[in-house]
Structure 1
Amino acid sequence: MKRREFLKNAAMISAAGATAAVADDAAKIKDDYKPQGSSLQPEFSVKDGKILMNDGHSVVFSMCHGCVAKCGLRLHVDEKEDRVLRCTGNPYHPLSNVHWASFETSINDALLATTASGEDDRRATVCARGAALPEMIASPIRILSPLKRVGKRGEGKWKKISFEQLIEEVVEGGDLFGEGHVDGLRAIHSDELIDEANPEYGTKRNQLLSFYLYDGRSDIVDRFIKKSFGTVNHYSHGGICGGGFRVGGKIAHNAKGFAHTKPDYENSKFSIYWGTSPANGGNPFQKQAKMVAHARSVNDDFSYAVVDPTLTNAVKFAASDKGRWIGIKPGTDSALAMAIIRWIIENEKYAANYLMQPNLEQAKLAGEIHWCNATHLVITQKGHPDYGKFALAGDEWQVCSQSGKIQSYKINEPAKLYYEGKILLGGEEVEVKSSMQLLKESAHKHSLEEYSKICGVSMDDILWLCENFTKNGRQVSTNVHGGMMHTQAAMSTYAIFCLNTLMGTYGYKGGSINASAGTHGFLKGRYDLESFEGAYKANGLNLSRSGKYYETSSEFKRKVAAGGSGYPAQQPWYPISMPLVNETLTSHAAGYPYKVKALINYMTNVVYGQAGLEAAVLDALKDSKNLPLFIGIDAFMNETNAYADYIVPDGLNLENWALPNSLWGTIAKTSVVRYPAVAAKQDRAADGTVIDVEAFYIAVAKRLGLKGFGKGAFKDKDGKPMDLDTKEQYYAAALANLAFDGAGVKDIDKEDLKLSKISKTMKKLEPFLKDEEKPKVAHVLAKGGRFDDYESAYAGDKTTVKVPAATPAAIYYEPLGGHRHSITGEYMPGTPSLALPVASDGTPLEKCFPKSEWKYLVSSRKSNIQHYYTIVSPKLRAIHPKNFVRIAQDVASEQGIKTGDTVKITTPYGSQTGEAFVTNGVAGGVISLEHGFGHDEFGARTHFVDGEPVFRLEGAEGGLNHNKLGLLDPKREGKFSLNDWLVGTCARQALPAKISKI
């Protein structure tokens, strides 16, 4: 029986009983009574298997941005009112369905599958955030005009200005606010060095700081910032979101980028969700929830665990035989992971055939599809110049063969997993150990009982995890996300992903797959949008000191030349990390390594989203002498842009174009696109151009005379110069590349062209497309993107979404283990190890903030309803207007707190008040807070534009913001928020705290 049929029959049975009870009253109703409703007119009807679009209505397939998952949308558009009435899911998009429609399926049949005659796995859904998008577009607190501050920074006083004045002032500078001269972007765009004593800092172009959000439009932003202007200081939100686990994934997979893995949800037999909760958070939020629910409904041999300090929607009583909540002490994830690693090694439950293969070719001969460095030998001799590095003969890693001979890793046989001893290197004996030996020693530093005590997970639960993770062959996996963001996020993630490595799950059906199958190419092909003559290759040291080893710096060399060791650095360096947005404003305020002169903030909200940032830099941010020029770009007033000098209005989601970008959890190539479903609400420039992020960067680039914009900005495949004066020129070229990538898509057929009503949109692009490109671009737009079929994801018992095997998975990671920490001067751990919360110099946080005073720990989690941006939605606020302070039973008993009480949470650097909710669903000693509430902006505060009060939205301030409880690092000179001590990402979990009833 289908789910719909079951629910319908159940409703009929219930209704039958109710009918008998009200029969007498029903008889009194007048015969001529006609019930009335207020439901919307449907966008289409179905007759004889045909979709009949209602007059004045259309269906648009698009891209969601209610969060960062980028699911597919199906929009109901009222053409007469130019208004989106409803958002549901795109049947072609993998994240909107269990099994999605083939790209070759006609629009008629794809829509038909979403109706009552369709199958449950083709319903094409959205979450609450996606459903709320239409009313966000219509929000009365949107910013529609360019604004310039007229009071002090942060006062909330503005005046409207023209687009032309905006561009002139931010480019040319001057005495813009009556506070003295401000350098414009023209003055900052200089080839002079920032600091001749430290030439590695680069040129003054690096004094432009850029924040941005991946929303499908960041390619034009990237083009301007990195290639046309040429600054190295370009940051996404990763450092304050899930950057710690992404760097941990880079370590575990020995990857060049920040790769991580996801479970093959549908075929998994056992998965551990760690710091991420299906149906509550994680990325992809909707898909992950859908697939876990589907698996536990149809797969008898499927089960899963959720490791989290808070019990969320991820584990249900109705499916308690399938899922188990493991309540863990915040910040101790590595203890649980190391316990499982120890048990696996002790009981030899690992995939020995996988681990013993020393190279990829030998792995394939042994029937494997991936390899790891478990057998590779590491120099462990104290004082050796290459301590912590792999033993090399020439440039080849060394292993010990099964016969006991030290050989190149390229041997055509398995090598020994466990080895320790002395080998000849460069004519001298050197002590070495295999990576697997080092992992074993690391895991055995503590007993299972000790690990259990550290993390607060019972021995029964630890053994249950061990047994279930090792009894299902390769069809197991771990999944990690932002709940890991404490001071040991990367090392904890490394240990958790090491479980996948030990079981050899990479690339197997039901195992661990690459986080994304990727997208179709759109930057090259018919048109070259990737490179252009005169493009800069941004270089120099970025503000967050990431991606560079401290030992390469002039600072280190000067200290060594003066007779010192070179350590500590003035501030930490993070050599294996991505650019860290959380380190930028604090580093700028401290003037290390240098100060910037301008910030352009596009849709990023670090003041709200970064734990501890307010305490660290708010005063500096208010000081226009400290940061002379601040330009914000957004559709709403956020907590960061409230301190800007200028605000550029922007389109909101369904009004914009967008191109494919990072999508997690897809098992087939997925290239979701967006085109304007309705007209943008913002003001227009003098030439009629809609004012938005693309218009801003194009206008600035042209005024500065930068390469890559304006006349001859890029070339087609035949070398013909193409102009870039409008965003439509860029998106037309990118969509043509996308449509022709690989084998390309077919031309759109007449029925799809008619049903999609895409011709109106195509008129905006056709002037910039060649004739043969138009029907293929129309096909891509009509279906909301380009999507490979579900069947392309598997080949026998393997997946086609393979984890890259060019480099081996890491049991030992030399870029850490072979280098010293920039503050302590000690070698960093190369294998997974127990890693508990510490300050930047390695001092345990419990020593900095004694448990006698700070008895409890604060943990935060994502909301299944709200995103910080969606608080402007009246419907979502009506459903979920504020968060509560979830308190463990033991905490409540000790403090005399009961549900409904007003409580105050205090950490060493902040406090918040809220309403208590006492529950068994929080681990002992934990205070749990939901993200997305407690706003100071997004309608929570009145601003004044031309003297008139604006931007106020009652209820937007509901609840509390856990990031206001964030810590400063007690061991750093100056004010810096607390970070992961190895990789520098923001630490928002495991905050020491106390709580009291008010």
Structure 2
Amino acid sequence: MQDKRRGFLRNAALGGGLTAFAASFSTTAGRMLDHVRGKDAPHSKLHGNSLAPEFSVDPASGKLSVNPQQQVSYTMCMGCTTFCGVRVRIDKADGKVLRVAGNPYSPMSADPALPYQTPIRASFVALSRFQEKGLAGRSTACGRGNAVIEQMDSPFRVLAPMKRVGPRGGGRWQPIAFDQLVREISEGGDLFGEGPVQGLRALRELSTPIDPQQPALGPRVNQVGLMASTDDGRMAFVDRFFKQSYGSLNLVNHGSYCGGAYRSGSGAMFGDMKKMPHAKADLENVEFCLFVGTAPGNAGNPFKRQGTLLAKARAGQRAFNYVVVDPVLSNADSLASGERSRWVPIKPGTDGALAMAMIRWIIEQQRYDENFLVQPNLKTAEAAGEAAWSNATHLVIVQPGHPRDGRYARGSDMGMVLPEEQRYQEQDPFVVFDVASQKPLAHNAASGPAELFFNAELALDGQPLHLKSAMTLLREEAERHTLAEYAQACGVPEAVIVGLARELTSHGKRAAVNAHGGMMAGSGFYNAYALVMLNTLIGNLNRKGGTLINGGTFKDAGPGPRYNLESFAGQVKPSGTPLGRNAAYEKSAEFQRNKAAGAAYPARAPWYPNAPALATEWLTGAMNGYPYGLKALILWSCNPLYGVPGLRTQIGRDLADPAKLPLIVAVDPFINETNAFADYLVPDSLLYESWGWAGAWGGVAVKMSTARWPVVEPKADKLADGQAIGMETLFLALAKTMQLPGFGPAGLNDADGKPCALERPEHWYLRGGANIAYQGKTAVPEASDDDIALSGLARIQPLLEATLKPEEWRKVAFMLARGGRYQSYGEMFGVRLPPPAPAHAVSGSPGGTGAGAAAGAAAVAGAASVPAVAAATGLHAATGARATATPAAATAATAHGTPAAAGAVPPPELPPYPADWSTHRYTKPMMVYNENLGVSRSSITGKRFAGTPAWREPAFADGTPLRAKYPEAEWPLQLISFKSALHNSYSIGARRLRGIKPDNPVALHPEDAARLGLRSGDAVYLETPGGRVKATVALRHGVQRGVVAVEHGFGHREMGARAHRLGKEMRPHDKAIAAGVNLNDIGLSDPTRKGHNVYVDPVSGTAVRQGLPARIVRA
């Protein structure tokens, strides 16, 4: 890149330093080899200890010869949460996994992926030297994916059910028969000699309220909770058991203490803060990418795919450059990147200041994409050549004291006559100010651009109503601070900020901004919202080289073309208030009481109406009894005490007290920091022993579902019928014992309503596979005998034939043999798909693509006008008459999959999209102003949240700034966490990884170290207001001044670090697993709150681990 194009980053490069002293990787080569390879002499002087090849291919003829002693199977890796498709090599003699590589069919592991119809035999040849196919079709796994396979044979695995002996958390267990385990969990009793404990059967009260004075809390069954980690392809089964059958509302995963702040901020822009959609940069075609608070290849799923595409882009000939903005320099930017990349250091937790500065400059310099932003609906956007649209022109009521202040003006506000039940619903359109007519107009009746920066009063029934466009509100929010003030806040020079903004807006739509875990700060939600808004300002969504949502999944657990896995007789619809308080405080009985007493605010603790389920607030809330306590807790493969900053300090003692939480059941392959407090431990399948159907992350823009199937026999104890004990067998047994609906000999129905059994795991997953196989215009082909033999499916063929119908099992085998189902890689762009079915239309989103939105548009555009109203308001008004279905609408419904009438003419083929439009487009508006956010209030202060992106200084729940409580004079440093290139929260047991990276010295800038009189290798105490840990210092120029950086994945107390007694036997342990420090052990609580709590973002409720006040003292 030319010097003039790099000038905007020169100061940052000099100030931060592009060269980092990698103290944490300073182990000698000899020691590394000892740990990784072992000290024994290699088997061969020529090829060392390498394994015999799984197959060979003649380079001249392409003939395949398989190794009869090994098996190769395609399935899914769980070495991290990216869920890559992999090929697993297995020793047939002992069933041991030998090595893992990439699945060439999977877009997660190959670029481009192999055509889906390719036979398994040809897929092996495609990886070989024959015609140099292996160079173009390379498919790999990462180092961690290979290293963690030893966990399957770990001496620390839980392989049989265990029951605690003595105090909770004491590390003493006794074996328990599975039937007895199920009976005790279900029926309860005096299980531990500590008094009676209610079992799950007694706690399943579906009609008795938790508190008759607060019926909104829901029934007592909600006092049973289930905490999970992530959807590894099995969550639909858990959801069916726990919510739909058992009936509890409280099922939560780990998102709120992982990357939830980014996802919530993104959800605000995408208009869905519960499902939290997000988009990723199209790294194959982007010209400039700005990564903030994420290190591509290290963090921000999908790790491996992003790293691969980034490496290809760096090495390619096309125009491509990127910048990583982060407090710590990662391997995403290195000397190997050359002039393609730069690192810009930033103060932790201040990314929103950077983003809002860029937004201000872009607006002032008019470098936004006006053609994109002025389109008031999807139809006009498409006509203008845009693949997406926004609500930038929609008008918001900004009139203090008005009952709808902060809400979007609707047609009915401006005089449109609608039935009362339709006001402010889907049929009630938003309002824009039409450029052509210079009048207000229903947004979905507009046929051209609307005013982008509108700020004026319009008459309503003779009374003035002040309205501003969403874009005006964003501009005003950006203007709250000058560029100089923003630069001071984030520590990035003003010239660099301007340079970044100029570069981002110099590539049309082939530029992108991406963020992730670095948003987990005290103002993380708004930081993330501001960053993703930069993508909206350049209109890059759904465009090649811009940002893309994922392509979705082939749904296994829906109503299904073959089996109904969605609904069943006796199904429960959970109700009540979620334990994490991700609901509106204003709808609670507490609010009504406080309001009646004259002070509606504050609530006892924060509520989060704009958040999904929150694990961060679960356990503290339960211990506080707010909004209610838990009577039983199931932990499934999760570890919140390790992962939530400050949680162990807050509730560790309470978890050990059965009086505060009477029953804890854990399902996990290992004893971790949280389930060490369980009353019962149940083993679970691990890695390549499991079933499942998993989706892809936002970085994969084709539709796909990755298959998990037990390519090796599970190692856990077996039941009498041969089933391995695990999550599914436990829940199936509990369902049978408690006679829950949706399970048993007639637990499922096929598409014709015929009952089917749900008594074994494969009954669920194979029938879900049949649903996947038959989706779309045509079902997948049938697997050949050769496919079955080469993929190892012959071992489970009896299960396939016994579970599925004769016409189904080979189709499911076709998918399992290939490790899933994948849309053609070439269909990522330019393919027009049928619009979403009307049943999936989103309420409250007029102008979307759903049928309700279409009806709303018809009501505006086609109904008779009301002249008097039109004259008074200038709005093109309409009556409230309901629109009737038209033949065209019926045709559209047929295209959606709704059965057409007999003899109906099939819909015509739709023309393709433009070649640079994403096939799987997001067609709802990008929210420049989010109404739900803008009218919601802090349950503590009563103040409204900003409805647009904003820069907010990190603060506590009552608005007290973090630094006002913990001033820099006392806490001069800021503590951050960053993703490891090798480890994650559960990989520490892999000896090969520890051989390369045995611990995590905390990283400190040399200037800070000199001020403190420290050198690399010095022992120190790392302190925050939340606690103190002993650590080792490593000096790094690649760390922002004033920052202490802690690599995640170390500092374990369990996972094999501590010895446990099982019966009379002491289980092994390894002190090396305890090496290093865990930042979360010294996370903060919120000093402005009462009772147990952890410090969370005030909007999203997500954990804060970035930018914690800290200091270092010599040990």
- Say if 1:688 and 1:716 are closer, same or farther in 2 by CA, change over 3 A: same
Shift of 1:752: 2.1
2:809 to 774, 792, 807: 774
Shift of 1:868: 1.6
- Residue by residue over 1:867-889, the C-alpha shift from the partner in whole angstroms, topping out at 9 and shown as x without a partner, is 12111111111111111100022
2:297 and 2:441 mapped to 1: Cα distance?
Answer: 50
- Say if 1:787 and 1:802 are closer, same or farther in 2 by CA, change over 3 A: closer
Aligned to 1:538: 574
1:196 to 201, 209, 212: 212
Aligned to 2:433: 400
1:831 to 948, 956, 960: 948
- Alpha carbons 1:69, 1:285 under 8 Å: kept: yes
1:189 and 1:109 mapped to 2: Cα distance?
Answer: 53
2:47 and 2:656 mapped to 1: Cα distance?
Answer: 55
- Alpha carbons 1:860, 1:989 under 8 Å: kept: yes
1:337 aligns with 2:337: no
Aligned to 1:328: 346
Shift of 1:460: 3.0
Aligned to 2:853: none
Shift of 1:35: 6.0
Aligned to 1:19: none
| 2:265 partner letter | G
Q: Matched residue of 2:633: which SS?
A: strand
Q: Counterparts in 2 of 1:276-355, with a 5 A limit?
A: 276-355=294-373
1:750 and 1:702 mapped to 2: Cα distance?
Answer: 37
| 1:908 partner letter | P
Aligned to 2:244: 227
1:648 aligns with 2:659: no
1:569 aligns with 2:603: yes
Aligned to 1:979: 1096
- Say if 1:776 and 1:686 are closer, same or farther in 2 by CA, change over 3 A: closer
2:751 to 677, 696, 717: 717
Shift of 1:276: 1.2
1:753 aligns with 2:871: no
1:771 and 1:322 mapped to 2: Cα distance?
Answer: 55
- Residue by residue over 1:300-336, the C-alpha shift from the partner in whole angstroms, topping out at 9 and shown as x without a partner, is 3101111111000100212231111111100101000
Aligned to 1:800: 918
Aligned to 1:947: 1064
Aligned to 1:846: 963
Shift of 1:36: 7.9
- Say if 1:204 and 1:299 are closer, same or farther in 2 by CA, change over 3 A: farther
| 1:773 partner letter | E
Aligned to 2:472: 437
- Alpha carbons 1:860, 1:929 under 8 Å: kept: yes
1:923 aligns with 2:1037: no
- Residue by residue over 1:482-515, the C-alpha shift from the partner in whole angstroms, topping out at 9 and shown as x without a partner, is 1211121111111001101110001110001114
- Residue by residue over 1:782-832, the C-alpha shift from the partner in whole angstroms, topping out at 9 and shown as x without a partner, is 111111121010114434354422x31111111111222211101110111
TM-score, normalization: structure 2?
0.85
Q: Matched residue of 1:868: which SS?
A: coil
2:670 to 633, 636, 656: 636
2:1074 and 2:318 mapped to 1: Cα distance?
Answer: 45
Shift of 1:424: 2.2
2:539 to 504, 516, 519: 504
Identity %: 42
Q: Matched residue of 2:448: which SS?
A: coil
2:765 to 715, 731, 743: 731
User: Which range moves more in the overlay, 766-775 or 685-694?
Assistant: 685-694
| 1:398 partner letter | V
2:714 to 680, 689, 707: 680
Shift of 1:651: 1.4
2:291 and 2:550 mapped to 1: Cα distance?
Answer: 14
Q: Matched residue of 1:429: which SS?
A: strand
- Say if 1:590 and 1:756 are closer, same or farther in 2 by CA, change over 3 A: same
Aligned to 1:422: 457
1:388 and 1:565 mapped to 2: Cα distance?
Answer: 22
- Say if 1:164 and 1:388 are closer, same or farther in 2 by CA, change over 3 A: same
- Say if 1:728 and 1:167 are closer, same or farther in 2 by CA, change over 3 A: same
- Residue by residue over 1:12-43, the C-alpha shift from the partner in whole angstroms, topping out at 9 and shown as x without a partner, is xxxxxxxxxxxxxxxxxxxxx98684321211
- Ranges in structure 1 where 5+ consecutive residues have no aligned partner: 1-32
Aligned to 2:649: 615
Q: Matched residue of 2:396: which SS?
A: strand
Aligned to 1:956: 1073
2:256 to 215, 234, 239: 239
2:826 to 791, 809, 818: 791
Shift of 1:997: 2.0
2:1007 and 2:136 mapped to 1: Cα distance?
Answer: 43
1:975 and 1:358 mapped to 2: Cα distance?
Answer: 47
1:260 aligns with 2:278: yes
- Residue by residue over 1:721-742, the C-alpha shift from the partner in whole angstroms, topping out at 9 and shown as x without a partner, is 0011111111221111111111
Shift of 1:688: 3.4
2:1010 and 2:544 mapped to 1: Cα distance?
Answer: 47
Q: Counterparts in 2 of 1:485-524, with a 5 A limit?
A: 485-523=520-558, 524=560
Aligned to 1:16: none
Aligned to 1:39: 50
Q: Counterparts in 2 of 1:543-558, with a 5 A limit?
A: 543-546=579-582, 548-558=583-593
Q: Matched residue of 1:777: which SS?
A: helix
1:270 aligns with 2:281: no
Aligned to 2:165: 150
Aligned to 2:893: none
- Residue by residue over 1:229-268, the C-alpha shift from the partner in whole angstroms, topping out at 9 and shown as x without a partner, is 0111000110110111111111011136210110111000
2:139 and 2:953 mapped to 1: Cα distance?
Answer: 42
Q: Matched residue of 2:339: which SS?
A: coil
Shift of 1:631: 0.3
- Residue by residue over 1:140-198, the C-alpha shift from the partner in whole angstroms, topping out at 9 and shown as x without a partner, is 11111100000101110100110011000000000000000000000100121001111
Q: Matched residue of 1:86: which SS?
A: strand
| 2:573 partner letter | K
- Alpha carbons 1:942, 1:951 under 8 Å: kept: yes
1:131 and 1:82 mapped to 2: Cα distance?
Answer: 16
1:99 aligns with 2:112: yes
User: Which range moves more in the overlay, 329-338 or 392-401?
Assistant: 392-401
- Alpha carbons 2:278, 2:698 under 8 Å: kept: no
- Ranges in structure 2 where 5+ consecutive residues have no aligned partner: 1-43, 413-427, 831-913
Shift of 1:516: 4.5
1:586 to 613, 616, 620: 620
| 2:430 partner letter | W
Aligned to 2:891: none
- Residue by residue over 1:549-584, the C-alpha shift from the partner in whole angstroms, topping out at 9 and shown as x without a partner, is 11111111122223x241111111111111001110
Q: Matched residue of 1:96: which SS?
A: coil
1:251 to 262, 268, 273: 268
1:36 and 1:541 mapped to 2: Cα distance?
Answer: 62
1:174 and 1:41 mapped to 2: Cα distance?
Answer: 56
Shift of 1:273: 1.1
1:258 and 1:637 mapped to 2: Cα distance?
Answer: 31
1:507 and 1:287 mapped to 2: Cα distance?
Answer: 19
- Residue by residue over 1:835-858, the C-alpha shift from the partner in whole angstroms, topping out at 9 and shown as x without a partner, is 121001111000111111011100
- Say if 1:177 and 1:306 are closer, same or farther in 2 by CA, change over 3 A: same
Shift of 1:108: 2.2
1:115 aligns with 2:151: no
